[in-house]
Amino acid sequence: MRSSSYSALPARALRVLAVLALAAGAVTALPGPAGAGTDRSATAGTAAARPATAGTAPAAPLAAKPYMGWSSWSMQSSKYPGLNPDGGYSWLTEANVLKQADALAARLKRYGYEYVNIDAGWWRDKAWKPGFDRHGRQQADPVRFPRGMKAVADHVHARGLKAGIYLPVGLEKEAYGDGKVPILDAEGCTTADIVYGDLRTTNGWDSAYKLDFSDPCAQKYVDSQARMFADWGYDFLKLDGVGPGSGKSGDRYDNVADVAAWNKAIAATGRPIHLELSWSLDIGRVADWRKHSQGWRIDTDVECYCNTLVSWENSVDDRWDDAPGWTRHAGPGGWNDLDSLDVGNGGMDGLTKAERQSYATLWAIAKSPLYTGDDLTRLDAYGLSLLTNREVIAVNQGAAPPARPVTPSDPQQVWASRNPDGSRTVALFNLADRPAAVTAHWALLGLTGKAAVRDLWNHENLGTHTDRITQALPAHGSRLFTVTPRGAALTTTGHEAESAANTLSGNASPADCSACSGGRKVGNLYLGGKLTFHKVVVDRPGTYQVKVAYVSGDPRAVEVSANGGGATSHRFPSTGDWGTAETVSVPVTLRAGANTITFDSGSGYAPDIDRIDVPTSS
């Protein structure tokens, strides 16, 4: 776990004056994500019911699709030569941001990129000392942004783009001003009223005092900040350090009330402002994040804080493990944010071409917001081709749900999602450090026979393939296909894990599971616990893609074997919690007639098994 350097900043209080304001909240509901089954009845704060800002067309609902744009943090946080000559994070200036906005407008806007998001530091000088106005609200650093933040937003808008800004959650310690700073438009409210008496700190860096919303003054403080952004014309806010998450848990770091307050405050401004939460949000509170925001960072920073913007191992590659548990929570109105997509310049990014393509592939199919942190004035040809591939962007922006792994989290993986037209989006990944072949069996997609394959990255039809497609992938490489079925649906024979015909050993035992087929599963598969299915009958010998329905609140490995033969260990991706069943398929070599299939926890902890579905042909 890493966090941005924000935590290292000096804390200093400022005296400000307070004015009281009234908040007006317009609340409306949005449809939930397709098939996600999440309760959206109380969804609030989205743009659908907000009045359009004067001079712009009526706004589309916020986050109907993952947003696209650019963010400043990757370049601010990097030690890449020349980026931050005046010390850490010094890159962030009006001149630099506007250059990026111009480049975005010129090169990427036509592909759907629209947000220009300013990250941490706009109210801090180059020594990282913050500035606040008389009401304890962050104010632009005059050196970085000599014309103030509104001028920046105006410039961005003039290019037909949207402007984004940033805040940490809570009352920054330096804004406290001995508790005497008056809150704007809130008569009688000072900073002392909006925090807890014991000045308990909050957020991922403990850089702020936790707001106490039992006092209405706290909401008014948030309202005053939201009003400020609306007045400046911002369209997007990244609220950072939010817990539970951001490396923190427990009451002090529970910022759900802050997020709700922000949602309410934004609604009250009447301006559609996209609210994005950061970082490593607690999946256990995803209903709250969905209810009050339009996106949430599922992971720590993608940046490496090194001589490049990012690096593969730290922490681009973590996303393959961390995204699956979140998949079903993404949908119109709120998306799983995998962080910046820094694939535009190989040298600056610190990635191979293959890694850059895989990075962009995962972001696209997981339907993460697509915002790059690259220097848009220095995109290389390959980077531009990655960021502007319309077929890939269409996967991200289209109507299909995000893809999930259909294989275990082994070094070679296949992810897939079903498109509205019945075709499948299929991604092959080789996460190993050396080239390897990766096969997508149509059985993984519930298909048999022939299927047409379109290579999206290379804009090429690869013809019709029978039963599977195999491609050689470079180290950390990927392919992205549209697979259009031309054959029959796969037929399978199901076997429930809890069936009395199976053998359990060790601690393994059946348990109730409302999400599971038959309402039961087999759990307690740990430290030698074992589940063996008997009488798995197939007509012909061969390797079968056996679909396993399972429940696992975290990624867990299990050893799968047939007929007492050699076992293969597979790591199953997290299902996000212990009440959700998902499926992956594992290859199992069976002989004609009756077979046994064993799931052995070995020396570790294995997922709970719900059922298996064995194809009737290999």
Partner 1 sequence: MDSNPPRRSLLGLAAATGALAALPACTATAAPRRPAASAVPAGDTRHTLWWRAPADGTSMIEQGLPVGNGRLGALAGNDPGRELLLITDATMWTGGLNDTLDADGQFPYGRDDFGSFTLLARLTVELSGHDLSAVSDYRRTLDLARGVVSCSYTRSGVTYRRQIFASRPDDVIVLHFSQSGGGRHTGTVVLEGTHGEGEGVSFGAAFPGGLRYGAAVTAHGSGGRVRVDGTRIAFTDCRDLTVVVSGGTNYKPDAATRYRDPSLDPAHLARTKVRAAAGHLAATLLRTHVADHLDLFEQFDLTLGASTDGQRSLDTWERIRARARDGAPDPELEAAYLQFGRYLTLAGSRGSLPLGLQGLWLDGNDPDWMGDYHTDINLQMNYWLADRAGLPQCFDALTDYCLAQLPSWADLTRRLFDDPRNRYRNSTGKNAGWTVAISTNPHGGNGWWWHPAGNAWLCATLWEHYEYRPSRAYLERIYPLLKGACEFWEARLLTTTPPGETREVLIADSDWSPEHGPLDAKGITYAQELVWALFGQYGTAAAELRRDTGYAETIAGLRERLYLPRVSPKTGRLQEWMSPDDLGETTHRHLSPLVGLFPGDRIRPDGSTPRDVLDGATALLAARGMNSFGWANAWRGACWARLKDAGKAYQLLGNNLRPSTGGTNGTAFNLFDIYEVERGRGIFQIDANLGTPTAMIEMLVQSRPGHVELLPALPGAWADRGSVRGAGVRGGFVLDLSWRHGRPVEATVRSVGGRATTVSYAGTTRGIRLAPGGSVTLRDLAP
Return d(Cα 598, Cα 369) in angstroms, integer: 40
Q: Does a cis peptide bond (omega within 30 degrees of 0) precede residue 485?
A: no
Contact 520, 567 (CB under 8 A): no
Tell me if 569 contacts partner 1 by CB under 8 A. Answer: no
Near partner 1 in 379-438, by CB under 8 A: 433-437
Q: What is the DSSP track for 119-165?
A: -TTTTB-TT--B-B-TTS-B---TTT-TTHHHHHHHHHHHTT-EEEE
Residue from 360, 406, 473, 546 touching partner 1 (CB under 8 A): that is: 473
Tell me if 467 contacts partner 1 by CB under 8 A. Answer: no
Tell me if 475 contacts partner 1 by CB under 8 A. Answer: yes
**398 versus 411: smaller Cβ distance to partner 1:** 411
Tell me if 464 contacts partner 1 by CB under 8 A. Answer: no
Rounded to a whole number of angstroms, the minimum distance from the CB of residue 558 to partner 1 is 15
Q: What are phi and psi of 10, to 5 degrees?
A: -70, 140
Return d(Cα 460, Cα 481) in angstroms, integer: 10
Residue from 245, 477, 523, 615 touching partner 1 (CB under 8 A): that is: 477
Q: What are phi and psi of 75, to 5 degrees?
A: -75, -35
Tell me if 344 contacts partner 1 by CB under 8 A. Answer: no
Q: Does a cis peptide bond (omega within 30 degrees of 0) precede residue 128?
A: no
Contact 515, 608 (CB under 8 A): no
Tell me if 593 contacts partner 1 by CB under 8 A. Answer: no
Number of other residues whose CB lies within 10 A of the CB of residue 92: 23
Element (H, E) at 201: strand 201-202
Rounded to a whole number of angstroms, the minimum distance from the CB of residue 261 to partner 1 is 46
**226 versus 343: smaller Cβ distance to partner 1:** 343
Sign of CA dihedral 334, 339, 345, 351: negative
Residue from 102, 125, 185, 455 touching partner 1 (CB under 8 A): that is: 455
Q: What are phi and psi of 80, to 5 degrees?
A: -60, 135
Nearest Cα residue to 324 out of 390, 395, 415: 415
**298 versus 560: smaller Cβ distance to partner 1:** 560
Number of other residues whose CB lies within 10 A of the CB of residue 126: 17
Tell me if 478 contacts partner 1 by CB under 8 A. Answer: yes
**55 versus 434: smaller Cβ distance to partner 1:** 434
Rounded to a whole number of angstroms, the minimum distance from the CB of residue 160 to partner 1 is 33
Near partner 1 in 26-55, by CB under 8 A: none
**278 versus 361: smaller Cβ distance to partner 1:** 361
Rounded to a whole number of angstroms, the minimum distance from the CB of residue 371 to partner 1 is 23
Residue from 398, 542, 555, 602 touching partner 1 (CB under 8 A): that is: 542
Return d(Cα 460, Cα 518) in angstroms, integer: 44
Rounded to a whole number of angstroms, the minimum distance from the CB of residue 474 to partner 1 is 4
How far, in Å, are 25, 215, 257 from residue 267 at the CA level? 5, 20, 15
Rounded to a whole number of angstroms, the minimum distance from the CB of residue 466 to partner 1 is 13
Site string for partner 1, 346-375 (x = CB under 8 A): -------xx--x------------------
**377 versus 563: smaller Cβ distance to partner 1:** 563
Tell me if 462 contacts partner 1 by CB under 8 A. Answer: yes
Query: Among 188-196, 291-299, 471-479, 525-533, which window interacts with partner 1 (CB under 8 A)?
Result: 471-479
Contact 332, 64 (CB under 8 A): yes
Tell me if 474 contacts partner 1 by CB under 8 A. Answer: yes
Amino acid (1-letter code) at residue 3: S
Any idea which residue has 């759900």 for tokens? 256
Binding site for partner 1 (CB under 8 A): 353-354, 357, 433-437, 455, 457-458, 460, 462, 470-475, 477-479, 541-543, 565-568, 589
